[in-house]
Amino acid sequence: MPKSLSLLPHWMQHYRRDWLAGDLSASIIVALLLIPQGLAYAQLAGLPPMAGLYASIGPLLVYGFFGSSMTQSVGPMAITSAMTAAALAPLAAPGSTQYLLLAATLTLLSGLMLTLFGLFKLGGITRILSLPVIQGFSAGTALLIALGQTGALLGTVWRGDTLPALVTNLPAALQALALPQVLFGLIGLALMWLAANPTSQLLGKLGVADKAAQMAGKILPLLVMLALAALLATLDSTHQIKTLGQLPAAHLSSPAITGLHRLDLASVQSLLLPALLIGLAGFLQSITVAQSMAAERQQTSPAARHPGISANRELLALGNCNLASALVGGMPVSGGFSRTVVNTNAGAQTPLAGMLSAVWIILALWALLPLLAFLPQALLAATIILATARMISLSQLRQAWHFDYRDGVAWLMTFVGVLLTGPMIGIALGVGIAIALYLWRSQQPHIAIVGRVAQSEHYRNVLRHQVETTPEVLAVRIDENLYFANIANVIAQINTQLSQHPASRQLLLILSAVNSIDYSAVNALKDWQRGLADQGTTLHLAEVKGPVLDTLRHGDFLDQLIHPPFISTHAAMQTLSPQELDYSI
């Protein structure tokens, strides 16, 4: 293969002509969705509508060169848009020149951070968030977004980054309601909803193929929006329905670059944490979407020997996409689930579909820009409300609670935290809850008293299996890593078991499930071992893993043991049990 071609993405090197039809059809459909969504999400972020369209062009072109998913659709999303508004609202007035500069800088910083994470191969960074925390954050943010867009839907001003702020501003919003605008918003919302899920279900019952029915459910709401916009265009200006109005001519520019010299250091520093959180939230959404679609398609390709989804490559790709968005005056972007599903179902085979979508959007900016002025703001708000409503699922809470009440608590606390503090503090709270949940669980580790399964070398929990035990030897399996936060609890539990087995003079700790041990835990074990010896009980270890054994060798704890760690529980029992007991097979 020529060297010039080897520099191209893998899918470009192996592109097949028969993929073009699918990529072309998917690109047109996704472009039709991206235009109203880009306009809506820009308004949600407090930015001019055009910013959402700019953010839908550069990132799609860039992702094709750096991304690892074949059907990922990158662009503005509801959660990152809401987080952008929450981050910038305290710093500048929405729509002001300073606000635009801060938004582009925020996008630039987020892109730089994600790119650096990718270069340092930190793709596992999202593991700091558990699934219940992610779900609670998404549901809480989605509810805030939907409530915040209700004002625009009904033609009034109802704003607030948190639920208390929304409640406080509700009386003034109610007083400003006008019946024509309320009716238009509610009727538009109902029609767009009916054109989506109910229509898809009806078409499915009529025998239409599932993919075609789902595609119709995505396209028909857009047609409803266009039909209502066309209706408004034929009426005189007395209808009082707010529309986008005249949009400026397309002009790709970068406030982050041209105006960077106007930013003071304090403003940049204030954007660092929001940029990190928005980047992580966007990456988490993107990698989840990419992995879901790849699993559904059983993607080892479509290009032969495609390397599959790489978290580190996705970090690099999303970082570069945000850099591209910042350079053209856009906003933070990420992969979107609904758009990616549409892209996949419409026949997309490679990232060429996304790149072609960017081309169609550019052509739309050139040819259709005057017509976009008639799009009603209420229907853009309806687009956001319908998109975010799907993210609010109480069934997730029920499932988490049923599986483990602690997971349910994490879901609920994150959800309530987002509602009370907003998405920016909410996601930070989610990280804290995930860490606290880990500490909570690991502080109460499971330990098991084990005995031998008859005529074997296998040892199992005495509470779950019929096993043989030796009164003189208490064999305890520890099912958790040992560190400063749980060692006292572990020792307390084992001391309780020793008190219930007074005949035991040999204590065997089975560390087969222990992958790490810290300095605090080792010192606690040393002190405990001396106390046990004073009471006439000898401490032994078995099945110590290599990394744990290496750690123990750094100190003198092993030197204080009468016997080196046993290679297996059975070997230990053969040595420690009274001679009259037969532990042979």
In a domain, 177, yes or no: no
Q: Give dist(CA 506, CA 508) in Å, integer.
A: 6
Asked if 542 and 572 count as a contact pair (C-beta separation under 8 A), the reply is: yes
Handedness of CA 339, 221, 76, 285 (dihedral sign): negative
Give the strand pairing for 506-510 and 459-461: unpaired
Q: Domain check: are 338 and 456 in the same one?
A: no
Domain that holds residue 325: 3-167+238-436
In a domain, 388, yes or no: yes
Q: Domain check: are 396 and 260 in the same one?
A: yes
Q: Give dist(CA 372, CA 278) in Å, integer.
A: 29
In a domain, 467, yes or no: yes
Q: Give dist(CA 361, CA 28) in Å, integer.
A: 9
Residue located via tokens 């970068």: 254
Domain count, the chain: 2
Amino acid at 451: G
**Distances in whole angstroms, Cα of residue 561 to Cα of each of 191, 481, 506, 520:** 76, 21, 12, 18
Q: Domain check: are 305 and 420 in the same one?
A: yes
Asked which of 436, 462, 489 is the last residue of a domain, the reply is 436
Residues whose CB is less than 8 angstroms from the CB of residue 324 and which lie 6 or more positions away in sequence, other chains included = 58, 59, 61, 62, 111, 330
Q: Give dist(CA 121, CA 125) in Å, integer.
A: 9
- Tokens representing 137? 């954050």
Asked which of 378, 413, 436 is the last residue of a domain, the reply is 436
Give the residue among 529, 516, 449, 506 at the shortest CA–CA distance from 481: 516
Q: Domain check: are 414 and 531 in the same one?
A: no
In a domain, 204, yes or no: no
What stretch of H or E contains 456?
none
Q: Domain check: are 539 and 465 in the same one?
A: yes
Asked if 470 and 462 count as a contact pair (C-beta separation under 8 A), the reply is: no
Amino acid at 57: I
Give the residue among 290, 296, 292 at the shortest CA–CA distance from 309: 290
Q: Give dist(CA 289, CA 190) in Å, integer.
A: 28
Asked if 156 and 170 count as a contact pair (C-beta separation under 8 A), the reply is: no
Give the strand pairing for 334-335 and 74-75: antiparallel
Number of H-type helices and E-type strands within the chain:
26, 7
What is the three-class DSSP state of 475?
Answer: strand
Q: Domain check: are 349 and 468 in the same one?
A: no
- DSSP symbols for 50-91: HHHHHTTTHHHHHHHHH-S-SS--EE--HHHHHHHHHHHTTT
Confidence at residue 207, expressed as pLDDT on a 0 to 100 scale? 83
**Distances in whole angstroms, Cα of residue 97 to Cα of each of 46, 180, 263, 327:** 12, 33, 12, 16
Q: Domain check: are 418 and 452 in the same one?
A: no
Confidence at residue 573, expressed as pLDDT on a 0 to 100 scale? 94
Which residues lie across from 506 on neighbouring strands?
473, 538
Q: Give dist(CA 412, CA 418) in Å, integer.
A: 10
What is the three-class DSSP state of 211?
Answer: helix
Q: Domain check: are 456 and 418 in the same one?
A: no
The pLDDT profile of the chain, 585 residues, written as one tens digit per residue, is: 454 555 688 888 888 988 998 899 899 989 988 888 899 999 899 998 888 999 999 999 999 999 989 999 999 999 999 999 999 988 999 888 889 889 989 999 999 999 999 999 888 776 667 788 888 998 999 999 999 999 999 988 898 889 999 999 999 999 988 888 899 999 999 998 998 888 888 888 888 887 778 778 878 888 888 888 888 777 766 667 888 877 776 665 666 566 666 777 888 899 999 999 999 888 988 888 888 777 776 654 444 445 578 889 999 999 999 999 998 877 999 998 878 888 888 888 999 999 999 999 999 888 888 888 888 889 899 988 988 888 888 898 999 999 988 889 889 999 999 999 988 888 888 888 878 888 888 888 999 999 999 989 999 999 999 999 999 999 999 999 999 999 999 999 999 999 999 999 999 999 999 999 999 999 999 999 999 999 999 999 999 999 999 999 988 999 999 999 999 999 999 999 875 455 565
Q: Give dist(CA 394, CA 359) in Å, integer.
A: 39
CATH number, domain containing residue 484: 3.30.750.24
- Burial (CB < 10 A; 0-12, 13-18, 19+), residue 466, is exposed
What stretch of H or E contains 71?
none
Q: Domain check: are 257 and 312 in the same one?
A: yes
Give the residue among 161, 163, 165 at the shortest CA–CA distance from 424: 161
Q: Give dist(CA 95, CA 253) in Å, integer.
A: 16
Q: Domain check: are 401 and 476 in the same one?
A: no
In a domain, 273, yes or no: yes
Which residues lie across from 376 on neighbouring strands?
243
Q: Give dist(CA 139, CA 390) in Å, integer.
A: 9
Q: Domain check: are 339 and 423 in the same one?
A: yes
Asked which of 416, 436, 456 is the last residue of a domain, the reply is 436
Long-range contacts (CB closer than 8 Å, 24 or more residues apart) made by 572-576: 572/475, 572/508, 572/540, 572/542, 573/452, 573/459, 573/470, 573/473, 573/475, 573/508, 576/472, 576/473, 576/506, 576/508, 576/540
In a domain, 462, yes or no: yes
Confidence at residue 304, expressed as pLDDT on a 0 to 100 scale? 40
Confidence at residue 201, expressed as pLDDT on a 0 to 100 scale? 84
pTM for the model: 0.80
In a domain, 174, yes or no: no
Handedness of CA 329, 252, 314, 295 (dihedral sign): positive
The separation between the first and the last C-alpha atoms of the chain, rounded to the nearest angstrom, is: 62
Confidence at residue 42, expressed as pLDDT on a 0 to 100 scale? 92
Q: Domain check: are 490 and 562 in the same one?
A: yes
Give the residue among 493, 496, 506, 503 at the shortest CA–CA distance from 533: 506
Give the residue among 350, 244, 225, 237 at the shortest CA–CA distance from 299: 350
Q: Give dist(CA 475, CA 453) in Å, integer.
A: 13
In a domain, 197, yes or no: no
